[in-house]
A and B are shown apart, each in its own frame.
Chain A
């Protein structure tokens, strides 16, 4: 996400959060996960709060139950708190365990290897 500051385009620094779904039964789709997380975000931070976070789902592996989220670097702790509040997806009790936080996508996946 780019923003303009006095005529210059500045790229927001991102943090990539690798999470694993604990209690995953391989039926949780990308849409299910994103909707659950987005609902928690909206409830906790509000619409204006979400706009400043730059939060989005980058990748998701349904077979492994591993997902990669991105957020702005200065809103990392808020993003972690929102992920902690997710307790169920499609009626199934789960928790989202953060495996690693990194400044790059490649760095975030390093823990999985």
Chain B
């Protein structure tokens, strides 16, 4: 029996509830099964529930995500202590090598973004401690002012990730419904950057879905600690 892939957009950035609903509607049109919404500033739990309910009626699941920008080790660790167990996905945008070395192996972090403005390189040393997933935000390439530079940077990043066998995930990082792209088209960009067809397709389906399902289990009441959970 063939199982259909479920497609996940691991990062959308609406400004408010109405935009979140519009993006959920667009996500459902594009064929996504799950959207990860970066919680906007001052989001209330009623608003989250409203978005979840709206998305459920469209047949699409929603997870809430927090994105931490950090350049210092202490600030990053403090932020992780504050946000964990409140969000289903934690992404760290590393502004320095110090922060990236901490985020790469911290269990509370799900994905890491290395941005070209910060000139960070994924080398053998970082790869040896890398246990989390590397996120490729496609919007940073498509809507970049210097697209050639962006393509070159992400090409090197994907090449290094494949060489060191790191987990790759892809997201749209869309600010509005217009910037969202269908999942197979996002996978085609990752393919263009040097990944194989299987790695590219898994980066918009299997890998992000696994991250979210694992985190949801860890945030549930059944989970006690690593390797210990309550059976039904």
Contact = CB atoms under 8 A, between A and B. Distances in A.
A94 B180 CA distance: 11
A79 to B, nearest CB: 8
B192 A87 contact: no
B103 interface: no
B75 interface: no
Contacts of B189: 81, 84-85
Interface size class of A (residues with CB under 8 A): 10 to 19
Contacts, number: 45
Output the residue of B143, B189, B200 with the most chain A CB within 10 A. Answer: B189
B142 A87 contact: yes
B29 to A, nearest CB: 8
Interface string A60-80: 000000000000000001101
A2 to B, nearest CB: 27
B214 interface: no
B197 A77 contact: yes
Interface in A34-64: 43-44
Interface of B: 29-30, 138, 142-143, 147, 178-182, 184-186, 188-189, 191-192, 197, 200
Q: Which 7 A-B pairs have the closest CB atoms?
A: A80-B188, A84-B185, A81-B188, A81-B192, A77-B188, A77-B191, A81-B189
